[in-house]
Amino acid sequence: MEINDFLNHTSEWLRGTGPNSDVVISSRIRLARNLANVPFSHRANKKQSEETLQSIEAALSLVEQLKKSRNFHLSDLDGIDRQFLIERHLMSLEFVKSSNSKAVVIEKDETIAIMINEEDHLRIQVLQSGLNLFEAYNIISVIDDMLSKQLSYAFSADLGFLTACPTNIGTGMRGSVMLHLPALVMSRQINRVLAAVSKLSFTTRGLYGEGTQASGNFFQVSNQVSLGHSEEEILQNLNGLIRQLIEQEHQARQALITDNRALVEDRVWRSYGILKSAHIITSQETIELLSMVRLGVDLKIVKDIDCGAVNELFILTQPAHLQKIEGRKLSSQERDAKRAELVHEKIAKLEKK
Amino acid sequence: MEINDFLNHTSEWLRGTGPNSDVVISSRIRLARNLANVPFSHRANKKQSEETLQSIEAALSLVEQLKKSRNFHLSDLDGIDRQFLIERHLMSLEFVKSSNSKAVVIEKDETIAIMINEEDHLRIQVLQSGLNLFEAYNIISVIDDMLSKQLSYAFSADLGFLTACPTNIGTGMRGSVMLHLPALVMSRQINRVLAAVSKLSFTTRGLYGEGTQASGNFFQVSNQVSLGHSEEEILQNLNGLIRQLIEQEHQARQALITDNRALVEDRVWRSYGILKSAHIITSQETIELLSMVRLGVDLKIVKDIDCGAVNELFILTQPAHLQKIEGRKLSSQERDAKRAELVHEKIAKLEKK
């Protein structure tokens, strides 16, 4: 599998299926693990990092779940490839800051991605569509168990798994759920909701994780606490919170459609109209307009288009994806024009169906 | 002719024909006249106003050019009718402030409209499409000459025609030209241009004359001075200024299309797309979007639609026009929804052609 092969299928996290997929885009579990008796990535020398890479690669090659995976060494990936994998949520912004002895192993269906020598020696990620935290956890646990037989993890009986950043010590686990909350945003309840989430020791982030802003009404909610609770407790808490957020978004959607149907229809159809007619469009604006179209699909205002098709456009219109599709580097201006073209083509195809 | 009959044809000022109609919407000449030995409208008592009305009506009935006209007494017109005639530029905002002994006489093709007992006893207006000041002046002069044989005008050998407002004393004439200057606005030259116009003793106003803001890139340019120059001099000066503004707008359009074709196309097609897809739309936004579509037609970006059709939408989407079309009073919310429907229908028809 080459990087370009990813273009031929939609990422798991954007498939638009799975439980509660009208509100929940995807569920993600990430485990941070480090090798015992090796300095953390940022303290390790070149030789140590290289050895870490090799020993982890050897261990991964024995994992049944990764038999259709492909291993990409970061040093082999150009800037567009890197951005491309970040856009697909298969690699972190942190990871690409330097490329020494780093690799990412990606299972073909993109549900599993493992970064080697990120902030921690090992960052294992499992992504599922919809609200599917426990299924993701089941998958990641099996992988983690298998790896722990091959690798000696840095572990303290008192603290649990040791990690480069103290916030990850303990379970080393972060559960994240990507939510689409347009009705809570439109009804101006979102700030109150996010404040409550934050008080409950969960964090909210934008589409691309830490340090990114919410855009297109997408919010990623994760556990902040990793220490002092079992994985199951953390996930139960997170899952319970997400269920409440889903309920609130549902109520907000119902209120919108009952009290302001004409306004919502106007927003949805205008967004659709602009996507169909713009000749220059930024990725930011595209996400915001697609978010409204997606809401329109969920509310049965837009009937010709299914939610997976809208989701596909979210990812295909990202900067590196556009450049992969075109097969060359594009300036920001060129991208904005190509993006508009791509959106026209895709929508025209969908409408013909 | 009833008020509703106006709905079946496009106003002269929006016909989109006449010289320089790519930039000049319409040319208008207005003469202010008062009867000698009768107090100005705002000082006259009821009896005097009624006598003024009757004597002017009698004089107008003899004017050949008005043989297809209809006389509307303001007291017979409801709020929507009044607003409707204002939207068609056949009546002034000032005129409808009170309805005592007032009438407006409108020639069938709407090129001639005469208000009785406005600020002055007599306000004669001739409207032409495109840059056509001298033609308008020729028509109005004939009417003025005929009326002066029937009526005794308040006239001073020193000052000329006497008027209620000192700014109109002298010729009592105002020439106004409605310009569409989208390229000067988009290229941010408009403020410099308007400042220059103002220094030359001309005034600029919005679509509906005195006290209204420019919208949709429409600017009405009129002479400020009415005293101390002959009608011909005033019109020559105004005409010369307008020719310069046309030239500047042409240059700005050329620069836009040469340097920023993609941006202009984007603006035009987005505007067109929003008009086709919005479900709620204000008259203000409609004017702004139609202005961009109109520019697109002038620049041959939009090819399926002719300029007269766009112009017709400018007027049909105005609040009173919408209510006339629907045959009932509509709330502001209802209008915004009906306006969107009307725009969809009209554009769909145009695209089928």
Which of B269, B274, B278 lies at the smallest CB-CB distance from A279? B269
Show the CA angle centred on residue A337, arms to residues A332 and A343, nearest 5°: 120
Closest alpha carbon within chain B to A276:
B273
- The alpha-carbon gap from A331 to the nearest alpha carbon of chain B, in Å, equals 15
Mean pLDDT of the B62-68 span: 93
Measured CA to CA, the distance from residue B292 to residue B288 in angstroms comes to 7
- The residue among A263, A267, A280, A334 with the most chain B CBs within 10 A of its CB, best to mutate, is A280
Do residues A118 and A165 make contact, with C-beta atoms less than 8 angstroms apart? no
Nearest CA to B49 out of B117, B134, B139 is that of B117
Mean pLDDT of the B272-280 span: 96
Mean pLDDT of the A320-338 span: 96
- The pLDDT confidence band at residue A353, using thresholds 50, 70 and 90, is low
Mean pLDDT of the A73-81 span: 94
Q: For residue A278, what pLDDT is reported? A: 97
Cβ neighbours of residue A207 closer than 8 Å, sequence gap 6 or more: A178, A214, A215, A216, A218, A220, A287
Nearest CA to A304 out of A268, A262, A342, A339 is that of A268
Quick one: what percent of chain A has pLDDT higher than 70? Answer: 97
Mean pLDDT of the A221-243 span: 93
Instruction: With a cut of 90, say whether residue A124 has pLDDT above it.
Output: yes
* Contact: A269, B280; criterion CB under 8 Å: no
Q: For residue B226, what pLDDT is reported? A: 82
**Chain B residues interacting with chain A (CB cutoff of 8 angstroms):** 262-263, 265-266, 269-270, 272-274, 276-281, 333, 337, 340
Do residues A123 and A164 make contact, with C-beta atoms less than 8 angstroms apart? no
Length in residues, chain B: 353
Closest alpha carbon within chain B to A263:
B280
Q: For residue B10, what pLDDT is reported? A: 74
Measured CA to CA, the distance from residue A104 to residue A122 in angstroms comes to 10
Q: Is A167 exposed, middle or buried (0-12, 13-18, 19+ CB in 10 A)?
A: middle
Mean pLDDT of the A7-36 span: 88
Instruction: With a cut of 60, say whether residue A180 has pLDDT above it.
Output: yes
Measured CA to CA, the distance from residue B270 to residue A277 in angstroms comes to 5
**Prediction pTM value:** 0.87
Within a 13 Å sphere around the CA of B175, how many CA atoms are in the beta-carbon half? 30
Q: What is the CA radius of gyration of chain A?
A: 21
What is the tens place of the pLDDT at every residue in A187-230?
Answer: 999 999 999 998 888 988 876 655 556 678 999 999 988 888 99
* Contact: A279, B266; criterion CB under 8 Å: yes
Within a 13 Å sphere around the CA of B2, how many CA atoms are in the beta-carbon half? 2
Q: For residue B341, what pLDDT is reported? A: 97
Query: Worst-scoring range by mean pLDDT, B124-138, B287-301, B339-353?
Result: B339-353
- C-alpha distances in Å from residue B23, one per residue of B183, B247, B288, B297: 10, 9, 16, 12
In 10 A of CB A36, how many CB atoms? 10
Do residues B180 and B299 make contact, with C-beta atoms less than 8 angstroms apart? no
Instruction: With a cut of 80, say whether residue B334 has pLDDT above it.
Output: yes
- The residue among A263, A264, A276, A279 with the most chain B CBs within 10 A of its CB, best to mutate, is A279
Q: For residue A351, what pLDDT is reported? A: 81
Measured CA to CA, the distance from residue B33 to residue B122 in angstroms comes to 5
Nearest CA to B286 out of B210, B224, B215, B183 is that of B215
Q: For residue A99, what pLDDT is reported? A: 77
Paired sense of beta strands B160-161 and B155-156, if any = antiparallel
- The alpha-carbon gap from A337 to the nearest alpha carbon of chain B, in Å, equals 8
Distance, C-alpha A180 to centroid of its chain: 13
Do residues A184 and A252 make contact, with C-beta atoms less than 8 angstroms apart? yes
Q: For residue B278, what pLDDT is reported? A: 97
Do residues B206 and B220 make contact, with C-beta atoms less than 8 angstroms apart? yes
DSSP per-residue codes, A117-147: SSSSSEEEEEEEESS-HHHHHHHHHHHHHHH
Cβ neighbours of residue A341 closer than 8 Å, sequence gap 6 or more: none
* Contact: A273, B269; criterion CB under 8 Å: no
* Contact: A273, B273; criterion CB under 8 Å: yes
Instruction: With a cut of 70, say whether residue B353 has pLDDT above it.
Output: no
* Contact: B270, A277; criterion CB under 8 Å: yes
Cβ neighbours of residue A98 closer than 8 Å, sequence gap 6 or more: none
Q: For residue A98, what pLDDT is reported? A: 84
Paired sense of beta strands A69-73 and A103-107, if any = antiparallel
Question: Which tokens belong to A59?
Answer: 């261990």
Measured CA to CA, the distance from residue A278 to residue A92 in angstroms comes to 31
Instruction: With a cut of 70, say whether residue B197 has pLDDT above it.
Output: yes
- Tell me if residue B31 falls in helix, strand or coil: strand
Mean pLDDT of the B128-146 span: 96
Measured CA to CA, the distance from residue A87 to residue A314 in angstroms comes to 10
Measured CA to CA, the distance from residue B30 to residue B115 in angstroms comes to 10
* Contact: B280, A274; criterion CB under 8 Å: no
Q: For residue A211, what pLDDT is reported? A: 56
From chain B, the residues in CB contact with A269 under 8 A are 277-279
Which of B270, B276, B280 lies at the smallest CB-CB distance from A262? B280
Mean pLDDT of the B169-188 span: 95
In 10 A of CB A188, how many CB atoms? 9
Helices and strands of chain A, counted as H and E runs: 11, 10
Within a 13 Å sphere around the CA of A188, how many CA atoms are in the beta-carbon half? 0
Q: What is the mean pLDDT of chain B?
A: 92
- The alpha-carbon gap from A306 to the nearest alpha carbon of chain B, in Å, equals 19
Instruction: With a cut of 90, say whether residue B131 has pLDDT above it.
Output: yes
Which of A272, A276, A278 lies at the smallest CB-CB distance from B266? A278
Q: For residue A5, what pLDDT is reported? A: 84
Do residues B226 and B234 make contact, with C-beta atoms less than 8 angstroms apart? yes
Q: For residue A209, what pLDDT is reported? A: 58
Closest alpha carbon within chain B to A338:
B262
Instruction: With a cut of 60, say whether residue B211 has pLDDT above it.
Output: no
Measured CA to CA, the distance from residue B343 to residue B286 in angstroms comes to 9
What is the tens place of the pLDDT at every residue in A130-171?
Answer: 999 999 999 999 999 999 999 999 999 999 999 999 999 999
Type of residue found at B210: E
- The alpha-carbon gap from A264 to the nearest alpha carbon of chain B, in Å, equals 9
Measured CA to CA, the distance from residue B219 to residue B207 in angstroms comes to 7
